[in-house]
């Protein structure tokens, strides 16, 4: 456990530069830069590692890096996405709390490989202490010569600005995040063009999640293959799973990809109060809910969660629900979240999220109507795939999956005006 | 070029265009709300979703570029289903208040809802209500109807130049609003009424007055600035209800300035003169046309008999048609009088007789967008020609043009200005001299042009400032990041320059600077038809009196053609005094006016909506139009009145049956374009001698013409007056001058000029040249003296 991103966590003063250097921190950066290792070789190692984006979409990181134009006359940027705002997610906060230097080193390596001189870390507005801690880490790194002009006496220069948001979930979407850094209202841009061709200030930009960047130093220290071997084919490396909900020991667990779900549940102390597992949302609130018995057959990797669980690994935010959970109320809460957090820009999401929530709320208030469930599915399908960004899909997925797996609970509410579970 | 297929039709299209552009070219309709060909792509309404082969999800046609081999289906089951679902979403929170909505009948949402909507709503939850915003006197808001397409936001930012509207809040609380406590002040604001695809933004003056389908739509030409924008006048029961733009890419694109859009309110003003009036003592008495015209003719004949024709002065509004100008000139000529002029606000006529032709823009409007380097002299461009300012902004924004300005006062150009000089009227001459000197010392000048020795001698007496050098370098093509070998350069004189007391010098220097740079040299047309009236020769005969000298040397009799003397002339006081002293004033006018208090007869003539005629715009475009509306009451088109007057005066050749016949005579039977081609010319015969004047120690007035004070029609449009109320009735000076004069900003001060004085609030404006006081033309200041001249500003004791 805790082999990659959390590798300083068991040490005293884990966030300090000293601690990070004691495990070989910044040596990799120094080697790559001073030995002038070609960018293509770095990107190849990242490809080999099987690292997939940890921000939720799981896009292969090495491939993403290769989209950045190699020869470009003008600035390019690397951006780290620490905006973590989805219900169930809380891993990036712990990464910058316990191991900020690994993120910095990862970004520096990325910058070196993609030819950027400036990086930004966009940090969620509601984790102020971590934002300040990250600023301190940047100061330390600058003072030690790991950020700034002419690093290690070479012609490679790189610096990072920490930027804190104000807590809007949508600013985690990479193009909304870019708009927000530019000082504009955080609203997603229509893609294409993707950030790699038109990103921050219209320049080529690479956006990765905090955990993705934090995995980079390890990959280049030990080789892509070593990272891949920590996981399973198709899902290389370790992954931090943020386990929350009805477990005895909620928290972050960094384990190899492919670990069976029961093992992860066991690490988290099992379902609390000796109760039975009812359902799991495996990847954060935007991923489909999975009934407990199916989840127990899954391993924690992209393929299994998709194929066996019918959901997705997302950001690895595992929300566990026990047998006493009222699924209608859970959906009510989730739908409210998406209704509140839609940026309001595009029609299906702006109008549809409010519609979904109001109908779910009505059912949860005991005022449901028989036609409501089909209406909810229809509205969800009308949002899905028709919006500018993925928030629309994120809002529709819980509705569709909750009704799919727990339809009787909804029907009971509609018929009896109260919960089948809590009475 | 990519080969694509839309709904089974194979076509070859330009590389890089979007699906919607390709479909529009083919005439295949794709429903849309947020997309507009002139604005950036927002792709937020999602109404344009279409099916594309090989893509699982529907794609927005407005934001998806075509690629080779693409197969697009706009009417397939999947496409229509997506479009219908978007329509359902758009309607759930829409108030569906079409019966009380002004947009009804011309609403994109209504139209598309008929095609894609359902008759019954599946939405039974509570609906959203959005509070309306007061964004000024021109635009009414019903924000609950808004569908957040952001066309208005994008227009104001991208075309208007200033982001006066924005979308605040997230989710369904998202709403369009102005800055807190602010209204929308763009001089192009009315375009967002046209752009709004629903009834959220509608015309305030037009509100609740008619339905779109009740209106007769008549094409016309905009009457207030030099562009000649294409408009459509909407008439119901003989009343103009509103004016909207007609699309004309090479002139106004699809836009219209607020002045040209809302000035029709003036045409409907209660001031309209509907019957001829004769003065009897202190009274106006109604009379019939016959008596009124006979009276006018007899007074003219009487003046000729008693004092000679030279004692008659004729002033014609520069907004008049070519036909009107031509006929008045013909009358003047017929009675042997040379004193006729349309250049009423001009004060410097020293170049008369020195022009090789009719001054004009020097290029086409569309050429402006392509310029690389621009020098604009004496122009408050956004007030003078709002849509021309847009073209200049386009040059700066999209063509990376460098713009240099030389003015006595500052106006935010809403685009980056490379060099900005703010200096006194005399300082402007000196600055141009410096620029000329700097240009002529640069290696890149065109050596073939020899400046006359007199000019070279004066040039030697000035020292070239850093700014002048920078402007010269810019015009020569030197740039911040890279140099242009052969830049396209334009040097232009604005309206303010034409009112400048040393216009002759500005003109000479500008021409010299332009020719040294191989630049386009242009003169903006002060009004819609300054060029046309010049072509129609509504100007003094050689040696006769011009608009200024006609007032300086008062005449016994004046003929005024749509002129309100104190408002429309360079020196309001002098004009008012001359009218008061005259034996007889014959006024042909569309409006009753206090400014015509000294007239003896008022002949009601048609405003621009009620007459046929011809305007020639500043780019030399000759545009004829028919009357959009029938004349109000007994009022008559000006050309018809002049025809009868000509007959009553016993003159030959006044038996026209149509304004077309007059037009043919104006152009001497030639094709207008040929005449224009031959006559438009900005060159001087000989360059004018420049004199250097020691800086004046006296305070100089800068009398600019505010956006909504240009002419009698605009001055009578209540909504425009409300919109422009802060731009009149004040005096401003820069902070230093205020301090050294011992005055306090915000207090009332006494402003005196030419024996008249008014009390005005003093504003501080640090973008004003020192030694100057800005006193814009307006009702309270009209009777002061020269627009540019000495003025006194004192504390009130
Ligand atoms: C509504 C929405 C919210 C998102 N929030 C986050 C976030 O908080 N953190 C994050 O890393 N990615 C978030 N993403 C995904 C990013 O857009 C982007 O894909 C990601 O940062 C890329 O990094 P990765 O490839 O390393 O995962 C979000 C996406 C959407 C649509
Ligand atoms: S899907 Fe929602 S959050 Fe994303 S752009 Fe559209 S309105 Fe904004
Ligand atoms: S027209 Fe394409 S999304 Fe609005």
Residues of chain A neighbouring B166 (CB-CB closer than 8 A) = 185
Dihedral class, residue B771 (left if φ above 0, else alpha if ψ from -120 to 50, else beta): left
Q: Between the CA of residue A84 and those of A238, A359, B32, B608, what are the distances in Å?
A: 19, 28, 35, 63
Q: Which of B60, B125, B148 sits opposite A350 (nearest CB)?
A: B148
User: From atom 6 of ligand 2, which residue's Cα is the shortest distance away?
Assistant: A346
- Secondary structure element (H or E) that encloses residue B165, with its range: strand B165-168
Nearest CA of chain A to the CA of B45: how many Å?
A: 5
Q: DSSP assignment, residue B636?
A: B
Tokens of B525: 């047309």
Residue recorded with tokens 């290792």: A37
Mean pLDDT of the region A327-353: 98
Question: Given CB atoms, is A163 within the 8 Å cutoff of chain B?
Answer: no
Phi, psi of A386 (to 5 degrees): -120, 15
User: Using CA atoms, how far apart are residues B496 and B383, in angstroms rounded to an integer?
Assistant: 10
Asked if A382 is an interface residue toward chain B (Cβ–Cβ < 8 A), one would say: yes
**Closest CB from B86, B168, B173 relative to A347:** B86
**Residue B701: pLDDT over 70:** yes
Q: Which residue's CA lies nearest to atom 8 of ligand 1? A: A84
In the reported structure, the alpha carbon of residue A6 is separated from the centroid of ligand 1 by a whole-number distance in angstroms of 21
- Higher-pLDDT residue of B441 and B280 is B280
Q: Is the pLDDT of residue B449 over 70?
A: no
**A182-194 pLDDT, tens per residue?**
999 999 999 989 9
pLDDT value of position B443: 67
As a whole number, mean pLDDT of residues B765-788 equals: 96
In the 3-class helix/strand/coil scheme, how is chain A assigned residue by residue? CCCCCCCCCCCCCCCCHHHHHHCCCCHHHHHHHHCCCCHHHHHHHHHHHCCECCCCCCCEHHHHHHCCCCCCCCCCEEEEEECCCCCCCCHHHHHHHHCHHHHHHHHHHHHHHHCCCEEEEEECCCCHHHHHHHHHHHHHHHHCCCCECCHHHCCCCEEEEEEECCCCHHHHCHHHHHHHHCCCCCCCCCCCCCCCCCCHHHCCEEEEEHHHHHHHHHHHHHCHHHHHHHCECCECCEEEEEEEECECCCEEEEEECCEEHHHHHHHCCCEHHHCCEEEEECCCCCCCCEEHHHHCCCEECHHHHHHCCCCCCCCCEEEEEECCCCHHHHHHHHHHHHHHHCCCCCHHHHHHHHHHHHHHHHHHCCCCCCCHHHHHHHHHHHHCCCCCCCHHHHHHHHHHHHHHHHHHHHHHHHHHCCCCCCC
pLDDT in tens, B75-112: 999 999 999 999 999 999 999 999 999 999 999 999 99
Contacts of B171 in chain A (CB under 8 A): 339-344, 350, 353-354
Residues B122-146, mean pLDDT to the nearest whole number = 96
> How high is the ipTM of this complex?
0.95
Hey, of A338, A348, A390, which one would you mutate to test binding to chain B, going by the most B CBs within 10 A of its CB?
Answer: A348
Q: Which pLDDT band holds residue B444 (cuts at 50, 70, 90)?
A: low
Look at residue B454 in the predicted model and tell me its pLDDT. Answer: 81
- B48 ligand 3 Cβ < 6 A: yes
**Mean pLDDT, to the nearest integer, of A152-180?**
97
Which residue, B602, B523, B588, B522, is CA-closest to B346? B523
CB A7 within 8 A of CB A128: no
Which residues on adjacent β-strands are paired with residue B313?
B558
B731: which 2 tokens? 């005096």
| The residue count for chain B | 797
**Ligand 2: which atom is nearest the Cα of residue A353?**
2
Distance from the Cα of residue B778 to its chain's centroid: 18
Region of A145 (left: φ > 0; alpha: ψ -120 to 50; beta: rest) is left
Residue B304: per-residue pLDDT: 98
A234: buried, middle or exposed (CB in 10 Å: 19+, 13-18, 0-12)? middle
- CA A172 to ligand 1 center in whole angstroms: 5
Is the CB of residue B586 less than 8 Å from the CB of residue B299?
A: yes
Structure-block tokens of residue B2: 């990519």
Q: pLDDT at position B455, please?
A: 84
Which ligand ends up closest to the CA of A389?
2
Longest dimension (CA), chain A: 74
Q: What pLDDT is recorded for position B448? A: 47
The DSSP line for A229-283 is HHSBTTB-SEEEEEEEESBSS-EEEEEETTEEHHHHHHHTTSBGGGPPEEEEE-S
Nearest to A401 by CA among A376, A365, A383: A376
Between chain A and chain B, how many beta carbons pairs sit less than 8 Å apart?
95
For B171, which of A185, A342, A385 is closest by C-beta distance?
A342
- Scan for tokens 């309209």, then name that residue: B272
Residue B122 to residue A354, Cβ atoms within 8 A = no
Ligand 1 centroid to Cα of residue A55, in Å, is: 4
Q: Calculate the average pLDDT of chain B.
A: 96
Q: Are A289 and A338 in contact (CB under 8 A)?
A: no
- Whether cis (ω within 30° of 0) applies to the bond prior to A193 is yes
Q: Is B255 left (phi over 0), alpha (psi -120 to 50) or beta?
A: beta
Phi, psi of B450 (to 5 degrees): -105, 125
Percent of chain A, pLDDT > 70?
Answer: 100
For residue B416, count other CB atoms closer than 10 A to its CB: 12
Identify the residue whose tokens are 């849309």.
B32
Residue B23 near ligand 3, beta carbon < 6 Å: no
pLDDT in tens, B494-553: 999 999 999 999 999 999 999 999 999 999 999 999 999 999 999 999 999 999 999 999
If you write DSSP's letter for every residue of B62-126 in order, what string do you get? Answer: TT-B--TT-EEESSSHHHHHHHHHHHHHHHHTS---GGG-TTTTS-HHHHHHHHH--SS----SP
CA dist A177 and B623 (Å) reads 52
* H helix count then E strand count, chain A: 17, 11
Nearest ligand 2 atom to alpha carbon A389: 4
Nearest CA to ligand 1 atom 14: A173
Q: Which residues contact A64 (CB under 8 A, 6 or more apart)?
A: A53, A196, A206, A208
Cβ pair A359:B56 closer than 8 A: no
- Which residue's CA is minimally distant from atom 1 of ligand 1? A391
Q: What are phi and psi of B611, to 5 degrees?
A: -135, 155
Distance B62 CA to ligand 2 centre (A): 17
Q: Show Cβ contacts of residue B759 under 8 Å, excluding neighbours closer than 6 positions.
A: B748, B749, B750, B751, B796
Per-residue HEC secondary structure of A118-161 comes to EEEEEECCCCHHHHHHHHHHHHHHHHCCCCECCHHHCCCCEEEE
Tokens of B767: 């973008």
Mind listing the pLDDT tens digit for each residue in B53-80?
999 999 999 999 999 999 999 999 999 9
Ligand nearest to the CA of B48: 3
Distance in Å, alpha carbon of B44 to nearest chain A alpha carbon: 4
A394 at the B interface (CB within 8 A)?
no
Question: What is the number of the ligand 2 atom nearest to the C-alpha of A176?
Answer: 5
B445 has pLDDT over 60? no
Is B777:B567 a contact under the CB 8 Å cutoff? Answer: yes
Task: Using alpha carbons only, give the angle B488, B494, B497 rounded to the nearest 5 degrees.
Answer: 125
Structure tokens at B781: 């200041």
Mean pLDDT of B681-685: 95
Those residues of chain B whose CB sits closer than 8 Å to some CB in chain A are: 41-47, 49, 56-58, 60, 63, 82, 85-86, 88-90, 92-93, 122-123, 125-126, 128, 147-148, 166-174
Give the number of residues written for chain A: 423
Residues near B326 by beta carbon (within 8 Å), at least 6 away in sequence: B536, B537, B538, B662, B665, B666
Q: Give me A333's structure tokens.
A: 């809460």
Distance from CA of B488 to the nearest CA of A (A): 27
Q: Which residues of B138-176 are buried (b: 16+ CB within 10 A; e: fewer)?
A: bbbbbbbbbbbbbbbbbbbbbbbbeebbbbeebbbebbb
Name, in order, each residue with C-beta under 8 angstroms of B660's C-beta and a sequence gap of 6 or more. Answer: B612, B624
CB contact under 8 A, B125 and A353: no
Q: Which of A332, A350, A381 to mutate to probe the B interface, most B CBs <10 Å?
A: A350
Among chain B residues, the shortest Cα distance to A385 is held by B57
* Interface contact B167-A346, CB threshold 8 A: no
pLDDT of residue B691: 81
Please report the DSSP string for A393-419 in residue order: HHHHHHHHHHHHHHHHHHHHHHHHSS-
- Entry pTM: 0.96
- Cβ of A190 within 8 Å of Cβ of B41? The answer is yes
Name residues contacting ligand 1 (CB within 6 A).
A 53-57, 59, 81, 83-86, 169-170, 172-174, 207-209, 212, 389-391, 394
Ligand 1 centroid – CA A391 distance (Å):
10
- Contact call for residues A90 and A131 (beta carbons, < 8 A): no
Q: What is the mean pLDDT of chain A?
A: 97
The pLDDT value given to residue A87: 96
A160 pLDDT above the threshold of 50: yes
- For B152-207, what is each residue's pLDDT tens digit? 999 999 999 999 999 999 999 999 999 988 999 999 999 999 999 999 999 999 99
Per-residue pLDDT band for B366 (boundaries 50, 70, 90) equals very high
Task: With beta carbons under 8 A apart, name residues in chain B contacting A386.
Answer: 46, 49, 57-58, 82, 85-86
> In angstroms, rounded to a whole number, what is the distance separating the alpha carbons of residues B473 and B483?
10
A353 closest CB neighbour out of B85, B166, B171? B171
Beta bridge partners of B77: none
Mutation test of the interface with chain A: which of B171, B174, B198, B481, choosing the one with the most A Cβ atoms within 10 A? B171
Q: What pLDDT is attached to residue B754? A: 85
Percent of chain B predicted with pLDDT > 70: 99
CA distances from B97 to B203, B204, B293 (A): 17, 18, 54
Ligand number with the minimum distance to the CA of A199: 1
Hey, is the C-beta of A387 within 8 angstroms of any chain B C-beta? yes
**Beta carbons of A40 and A130 less than 8 angstroms apart:** no
Predicted confidence (pLDDT) at residue A305 exceeds the cutoff of 70: yes
Chain B residue closest in CA terms to A392: B171
Residue B447: is its pLDDT beyond 80? no
List CB contacts (< 8 A) between B63 and chain A: 190
Q: How far is the CA of A65 from the centre of ligand 1 (A)?
A: 16
Rounded distance between C-alpha atoms, residue B605 and residue B323, angstroms: 13
Give the end-to-end CA distance of chain A in Å, rounded to a whole number. Answer: 41
Tokens for B528, please give them: 């819609």
Chain-centroid distance, C-alpha B418? 24
For residue range A73-102, list pLDDT tens digits in order: 899 999 999 999 999 999 999 999 999 999
Residue A125 sits at the chain B interface (C-beta within 8 Å): no
B55: closest chain A residue by CA: A385
């Amino acid at each position: 456990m805790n082999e990659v991103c959390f590798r300083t966590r068991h040490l005293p003063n884990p966030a300090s530069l000293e601690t990070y250097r004691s495990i070989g921190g910044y040596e990799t950066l120094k080697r790559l830069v001073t030995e002038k290792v070609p960018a293509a070789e770095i990107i190849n190692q990242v490809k080999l590692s099987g690292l997939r984006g940890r921000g939720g979409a799981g896009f292969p990181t090495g491939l993403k890096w290769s989209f950045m134009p190699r020869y470009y006359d003008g600035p390019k940027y690397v951006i780290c996405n620490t905006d973590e705002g989805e219900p169930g997610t809380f891993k990036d906060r712990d990464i910058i709390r316990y191991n900020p230097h690994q993120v910095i080193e990862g970004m520096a390596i990325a910058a070196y490989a993609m030819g950027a001189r400036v990086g930004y870390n966009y940090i969620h507005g509601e984790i102020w202490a971590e934002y300040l801690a990250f600023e301190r880490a940047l100061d330390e790194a600058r003072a030690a010569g790991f950020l700034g002009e002419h690093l290690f006496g070479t012609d490679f220069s790189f610096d990072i600005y920490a930027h804190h948001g104000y807590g809007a979930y949508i600013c985690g979407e990479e193009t909304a995040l870019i708009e927000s850094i530019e000082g504009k209202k955080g609203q997603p841009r229509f893609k294409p063009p993707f950030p790699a061709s038109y990103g921050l200030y219209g320049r080529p930009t690479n956006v990765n999640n905090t955990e993705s960047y934090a995995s980079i130093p390890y990959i280049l220290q030990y080789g892509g293959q070593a990272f891949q071997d920590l996981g399973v084919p198709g899902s290389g490396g370790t992954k931090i799973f943020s386990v929350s909900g009805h477990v005895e020991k909620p928290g972050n667990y960094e384990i190899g990809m492919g670990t069976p779900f029961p093992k992860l549940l066991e690490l988290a102390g099992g379902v609390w109060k000796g109760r039975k597992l009812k359902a799991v949302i495996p990847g954060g609130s935007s991923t489909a809910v999975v009934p407990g018995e199916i989840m127990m057959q899954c391993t924690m990797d992209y393929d299994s969660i998709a194929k066996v669980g019918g959901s997705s690994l997302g950001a690895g935010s595992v929300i566990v629900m026990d047998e006493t959970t009222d699924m209608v109320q859970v959906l009510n809460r989730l739908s409210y979240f998406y209704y509140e957090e839609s940026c309001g820009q595009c029609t299906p999401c702006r109008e549809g999220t409010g519609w979904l929530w109001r109908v779910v709320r009505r059912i949860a208030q005991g005022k449901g109507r028989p036609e409501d469930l089909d209406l909810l599915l229809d509205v969800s399908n009308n949002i899905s795939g028709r919006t500018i960004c993925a928030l629309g899909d994120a809002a529709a997925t819980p509705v569709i999956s909750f009704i799919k797996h727990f339809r009787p609970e909804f029907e009971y509410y509609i018929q009896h005006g109260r919960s089948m579970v809590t009475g | 070029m990519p080969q694509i297929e839309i709904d089974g039709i194979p076509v070859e299209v330009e590389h890089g265009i979007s699906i919607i552009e390709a479909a529009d070219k083919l005439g295949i309709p794709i429903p849309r709300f947020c997309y507009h060909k002139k604005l950036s792509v927002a792709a937020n309404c999602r109404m344009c979703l279409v099916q594309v082969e090989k893509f699982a999800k529907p794609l927005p046609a407005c934001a998806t570029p075509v690629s080779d081999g693409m197969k697009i289906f706009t009417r397939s089951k999947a496409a229509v289903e997506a479009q219908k679902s978007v329509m359902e979403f758009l309607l759930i929170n829409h108030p569906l208040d079409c019966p009380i909505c002004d947009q009804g009948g011309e609403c994109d949402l209504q139209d598309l809802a008929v095609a894609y909507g359902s008759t019954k709503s599946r939405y039974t939850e509570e609906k959203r209500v959005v509070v309306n915003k007061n964004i000024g006197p021109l635009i009414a808001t019903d924000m609950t109807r808004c569908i957040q397409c952001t066309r208005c936001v994008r227009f104001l930012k991208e075309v208007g130049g200033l982001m006066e509207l924005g979308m605040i809040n997230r989710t369904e609380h998202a709403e369009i609003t102005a800055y807190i406590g602010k209204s929308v002040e763009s001089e192009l604001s009315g375009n967002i009424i046209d752009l709004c695809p629903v009834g959220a933004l509608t015309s305030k003056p037009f509100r609740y007055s008619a339905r779109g389908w009740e209106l007769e739509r008549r094409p016309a030409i905009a009457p207030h600035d030099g562009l000649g924008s294409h408009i459509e006048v909407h008439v119901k029961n003989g009343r103009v209800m509103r004016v909207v733009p007609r699309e004309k890419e090479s002139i106004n694109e699809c836009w219209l300035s607020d002045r040209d859009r809302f000035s029709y309110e003036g045409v409907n003003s209660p001031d309209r003169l509907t019957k001829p009036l004769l003065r009897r003592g202190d009274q106006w008495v109604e009379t019939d046309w016959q008596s009124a015209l006979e009276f006018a003719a007899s007074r003219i004949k009487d003046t000729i008999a008693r004092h000679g024709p030279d004692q008659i002065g004729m002033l014609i509004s520069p907004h008049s048609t070519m036909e009107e100008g031509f006929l008045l000139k013909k009358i003047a000529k017929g009675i042997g009088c040379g004193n006729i002029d349309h250049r009423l606000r001009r004060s410097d006529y020293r170049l008369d007789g020195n022009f090789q032709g009719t001054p004009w823009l020097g290029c086409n409007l569309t050429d402006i967008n392509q310029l690389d380097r621009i020098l604009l002299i004496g122009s408050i461009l956004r007030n003078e020609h709002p849509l021309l300012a847009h073209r200049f902004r386009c040059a700066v924004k999209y063509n990376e043009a460098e713009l240099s300005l030389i003015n006595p006062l500052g106006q935010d150009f809403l685009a980056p200005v490379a060099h900005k000089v703010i200096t006194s009227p005399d300082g402007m001459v000196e600055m141009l001299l410096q620029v000329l000197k700097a240009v002529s010392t640069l290696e890149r000048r065109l050596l073939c042009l020899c400046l006359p020795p007199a000019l070279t001698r004066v040039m030697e007496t000035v020292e070239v400032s850093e700014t002048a050098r920078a402007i010269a370098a810019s015009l020569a093509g030197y740039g911040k990041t890279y140099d242009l070998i052969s830049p396209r350069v334009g040097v232009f004189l604005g309206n303010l320059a034409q009112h400048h007391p040393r216009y002759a010098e500005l003109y000479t220097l500008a021409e010299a600077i332009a020719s040294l740079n191989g630049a386009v040299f242009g003169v903006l047309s002060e009004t819609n038809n300054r060029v046309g009236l010049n072509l129609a020769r509504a100007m003094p005969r050689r040696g006769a009196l011009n608009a200024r000298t006609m007032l300086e040397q008062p005449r016994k009799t004046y003929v005024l053609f749509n002129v309100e003397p104190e408002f429309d002339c360079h020196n309001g006081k002098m004009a008012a005094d001359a009218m008061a002293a005259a034996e007889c004033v014959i006024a042909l006018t569309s409006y009753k006016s206090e400014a015509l208090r000294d007239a003896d007869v008022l002949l009601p003539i048609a405003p621009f909506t009620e007459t046929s005629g011809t305007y020639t715009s500043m780019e030399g475009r000759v545009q004829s139009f028919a009357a959009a509306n029938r004349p109000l009451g007994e009022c008559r088109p000006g050309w018809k009145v002049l025809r009868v007057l000509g007959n009553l005066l016993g003159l030959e050749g006044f038996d026209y049956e149509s304004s077309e016949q007059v037009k043919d005579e104006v152009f001497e039977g030639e094709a207008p374009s040929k005449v224009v081609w031959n006559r438009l010319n900005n060159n001087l015969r000989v360059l004018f001698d420049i004199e250097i004047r020691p800086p004046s120690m006296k305070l100089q007035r800068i009398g600019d013409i505010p956006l909504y004070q240009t002419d009698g029609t605009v001055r009578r449009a209540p909504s425009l007056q409300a919109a422009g109320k802060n731009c009149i009735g004040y005096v401003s000076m820069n902070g230093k001058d205020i301090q050294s004069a011992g005055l306090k900003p915000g207090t009332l001060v006494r402003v005196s000029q030419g024996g008249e004085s008014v009390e005005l609030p003093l504003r501080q404006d640090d973008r004003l040249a020192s030694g100057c006081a800005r006193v814009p033309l307006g009702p309270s200041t009209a009777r002061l003296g020269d627009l540019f001249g000495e003025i006194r500003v004192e504390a009130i004791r």
